[in-house]
Structure 1
Amino acid sequence: MARSRDPAAPAAAAAGSTTQRIVESITTAIVERRLMPGTKLAEQKIADIFKVSRTVVRQALNQLSRDKLITLHPGRGAFVARPSVEEARQVFEVRNMIETAMVRRLAASITPQQVAQLRDHLRREQAAVQRTDVPGRTRLLAEFHVVLARLLGNEVLAEMLRDLVSRSSLISLMYQSAHSAEHSSDEHVAIVDALERGDARAAVRLMESHLHHVEHNLRLDPRVPDLEAALTALE
């Protein structure tokens, strides 16, 4: 006997797909620095942009809230999150623990085909840096870390790292000082070189150094401004 189809199933699947599209669009806008911390995300405006109901938008915003990319304030709405200094430190601490273990394992198993995949990603990174494509280079520099996780064949790890990298991008929007994208890309090249050699110790050391440099370029210890020094700096 044929099983009857649930008529609501296609509609539910479509709604879920649209919700995910909204989540991905907002996440990408944050990673590419088109949405700044504190930006208000008006439900109706998002609903109009994606031609969906506010219910679908609310589902997307709830998911982004769980991912710590936005904050929901009762009576005020949704805003791109403003991570605290302590949260920033914790995010980079977790990334260091995960990513050093990741490259140590990858160095022992990486294949020539996977190295070629990484080299292709690096070429696109460097091209974006050279043409001063800020959104493109920001996205590619972040995706490098997710690509490494995917090469281990662990999608749970890749999803976890994607969330952490997205939060790192949001943190950078608030705390990053003048930062050289070219330097980050060069460090990625050195990491891939170590992986290709199967040198786990060097890969771990280079990843630790890379994450330290990224964190170091964040102003996580802002000084209380001295009024006299501020007003006489140009004299």
Structure 2
Amino acid sequence: MKAAEPISQTQRIVDALTAAIVERRLMPGTKLVEQQLADLFQVSRTLVRQALNQLSRDHLVQLLPARGAFVAEPSIDEARQVFEVRQMIELQLVKQLCKSITPAQVKSLRAHLQREAQALAKGDVPGRTRLLAEFHVLLAQLAGNAVLAELLGDLLARCSLIALMFQSQHSAEHSAHEHVALVDAIERGDSKTAVRLMEQHLGNVERGLQLQPRTTDLMEALGALA
């Protein structure tokens, strides 16, 4: 029982910090002071350090030598470049799917759309972010292109932190609705409409990112969670 306690405490810190980040109460660049966190959660700095290391592996926290830990600051320019590449890839992808989609594959897409709706209804921010991204990987998988699916997965991973931190509930709901319209067009085999919808969708996702920070004060953001 005692051996499990440090793991439980570490996970509590990880969960609290993750929630504060994805709910945009802790913004990019916020300094995560070990002693403040240790006092706040009433644990040792060793456990805090373990939590920060775990968050670093998840790319939510950046550890800088001699400076400490900070909420990661993803590059907006890099994200925009990723969207440019995605436009080139995914427009061709939906065109291909319109020619080859089967009823069983449409059923699979509809099931995924249902999971997106459930995550949105529950206010599950990390869940909705993951599902909205996985929709695009699923399209590549259904097209039978494993290499493209892997490539898209890598591209989505590079901009997922941007969406996780900066996509509003309204923008996420809009994305989910656009996914539904896109699946409708693919099911009809309407290539022209599907390509137009995908182009609009990726543009809307990029424009919908909210990049204005709310607070960089650690105690203000985490006080209610301790």
Task: Quickly name the TM-score band, shorter chain normalised.
Answer: 0.5 to 0.7
Q: Distance between the aligned counterparts of 2:66 and 2:196, measured in 1?
A: 48
2:22 corresponds to which residue? 33
Deviation at 1:134, TM superposition (A): 2.3
1:142-169 deviations in whole A, cap 9, x for unaligned? 1111111111222222122112222222
Using a 3 Å threshold, how does the CA distance of structure 1 residues 46 and 149 change in structure 2: closer, same or farther?
farther
Unaligned runs of 5+ in 2: 1-17, 35-45, 213-226
Larger Rg: 1
Deviation at 1:107, TM superposition (A): 1.1
User: Paired residue for 1:128, among 119, 137, 141?
Assistant: 119
Matches within 5 A, 1:49-128: 61=57, 73=64, 81-128=72-119
Unaligned runs of 5+ in 1: 1-28, 223-235
Q: Distance between the aligned counterparts of 1:94 and 1:77, measured in 2?
A: 34
Q: Is the 8 A contact 2:82 2:155 kept in 1?
A: yes
What is the identity percentage for the equivalent residue pairs of Structure 1 and Structure 2? 60
1:14 corresponds to which residue? none
Question: TM (normalized to structure 1)?
Answer: 0.62
Q: Distance between the aligned counterparts of 1:45 and 1:146, measured in 2?
A: 36
Q: Is the 8 A contact 1:37 1:173 kept in 2?
A: no
Q: Distance between the aligned counterparts of 2:87 and 2:168, measured in 1?
A: 20
Q: Which amino acid aligns with 2:22?
A: R
How many residue pairs end up in the alignment?
182
Q: Distance between the aligned counterparts of 1:123 and 1:185, measured in 2?
A: 10
Question: TM (normalized to structure 2)?
Answer: 0.64
Tell which has more relative contact order, 1 or 2 (C-alpha 8 A, sep 6+): 2
Q: Is the 8 A contact 2:125 2:164 kept in 1?
A: no
Q: Distance between the aligned counterparts of 2:174 and 2:27, measured in 1?
A: 24
